[in-house]
Amino acid sequence: MTTHEPPREEPGALHEAPRGARAMNALRWVLFAGLLALAAVSVATWAISRRGGATAQQAQARYHCPMHPSYTSDRPGECPICGMSLEPIPADYGTGAAADTSDVPGLAAVQLSPERIQLIGVRTAVAERSAVGGRLELVGFVTPDESRFHRVQIRLTGWVERIHVEQAGAPVRAGEPLVTIQSPELFQTEQEYVIERGAGGQDPGAGAATHDSGARGAASHDSGALAAVRQRLQSLGVPADEIERLERERTASTRLMLRAPISGTVLEKNVVDGQYVGPDTPLFTLADLSRVWVLADVYAIDVARVAVGDRATFITDAVPDRSFAGRVDFVYPTISPETRTLKVRVTLDNPGGVLRPGSYGRVLVAGRAGSALTVPAEAVIRTGDQHYVFLARAGGRFEPRGVVVGPQQGDRVAVLEGLAAGDTVVASASFLIDSESRLKAAIAGRGAPAVEHDHGGAK
């Protein structure tokens, strides 16, 4: 049987590609590139449809909660947070269009429906010119008139033998005894005076018609020495009645009684029985309270409204049935760093001593009035570093506006900058409008719409 063997290939011979292999390879690459292009188109189409769906979904969020603007829905209903009815979202809500009208950082204009304006009790007022800077109502307290103080001291040394005033606050009359001092220094000086007085009183030639020049010279010397001792007693603060007693009785004493120099009240009593005292020891402080001072605090913003000579009236609960009239007689030059206030002084007559030092009350000062643009004080929102109001526009629109305020008169405050006469501002419910304005500004500042929620369960 004849067997056919395939021809043997010699080493190193080249293989020829099957017919049509190159065409198949090219077709494969074309198909692969087409698949890649199709995948890219599908991804782009999916992304576009995703964005379109999100935009459509956002466009469907047509309602939000008045108290929680971040809660939105595509249909009316109730807010699951607070239970309030959802309201339609204005066309420009969450965009920069409303925020462009605000000159106050962190705030945006808001728009409210008439129903909600009525619900939260919004009241408005018109900015108008009125009198400000007139009467000031200050808080003041009574203090003794410092020009009527008297300090009782002694100019020699000794010991307290007896105190005639029992306690501080006691009333005294001029000439009443205050304290008795026992002083060896006083006794020594009075004894010297008695000796000099006795020497000067001797007149060896009293019955003679003439005196020689030596006798006249001795008498002159004795008279000068006596005058010097008398002057020393006066310099030591020895009262005139004690010197008269010494002249009359010619006996030195170790006791000195100090009496009240004025009629008034003992404000301070600084000694006790048996105490050693000297020129540096304050014994008593007396004050004449028939006239007193009232010191009142004025805030720095109102300093220009008060001047010396302004009429003032003091009213205190300690004397409810009376008022005390006076005038501002001094404006202190410095402002307290603790309270940032300046003191003014009013001098008042105090017959009968009914105004007691330390009493508080109201000081009504007739300040200098002027005309200024004013709004209700409750319309101005004060945050510490800025002041602003909400302008009421047509259609329930409210825009924040920064202002510079001046003095306040009663329930109205002056506006120096930021408003014009005739502008309408929110006078009540400013807090609620301010809260929504801040929320809206925050949403607009994020550059994204409010967080959207499906409110399918709302009825």
**Is pLDDT at 314 greater than 70 in this prediction?**
yes
* Greater model confidence, 214 or 338: 338
Query: Can you tell me the mean pLDDT for 273-302?
Result: 92
* pLDDT value of residue 55: 47
The alpha-carbon radius of gyration of the chain (Å, integer) is: 50
Query: Can you tell me the mean pLDDT for 306-319?
Result: 92
Q: How far apart are alpha carbons 391 and 379 in whole angstroms? A: 10
Query: Can you tell me the mean pLDDT for 150-169?
Result: 91
Query: Can you tell me the mean pLDDT for 160-165?
Result: 94
Q: Can you name the CATH fold of 92-131+371-445?
A: 2.40.420
User: What dotted CATH number matches 151-201+219-287?
Assistant: 2.40.50.100
Within 8 A by CB and 6+ apart from 242, the residues are 253, 256, 257
In this predicted model, what pLDDT tens digit does every residue of 84-95 receive, in sequence order? 888 776 655 544
| C-alpha closest to that of 158 among 174, 142, 138, 180 | 180
* pLDDT value of residue 213: 45
Task: Give the rounded percent of residues in the chain with a pLDDT score beyond 90.
Answer: 35
Provide the whole-model pTM. Answer: 0.53
Three-state DSSP class for residue 314: strand
Q: How far apart are alpha carbons 263 and 287 in whole angstroms? A: 8
- Hey, where are the domains in the chain? 92-131+371-445, 135-145+289-369, 151-201+219-287
The DSSP H or E segment spanning 47 is helix 21-60
In this predicted model, what pLDDT tens digit does every residue of 220-259 receive, in sequence order? 556 778 888 888 888 888 888 888 888 888 889 899 999 9
Look up the CATH superfamily of 135-145+289-369. Answer: Efflux pump adaptor protein, beta barrel domain (2.40.30.170)
| C-alpha closest to that of 366 among 416, 308, 411 | 308
Q: Which residues of 266-288 are buried (b: 16+ CB within 10 A; e: fewer)?
A: bbebebeeeeebeeeeebbbbbb
* Mean of all residue pLDDT scores within the chain: 79
* pLDDT value of residue 453: 39
* pLDDT value of residue 300: 82
Query: Any idea how long the chain is?
Result: 459
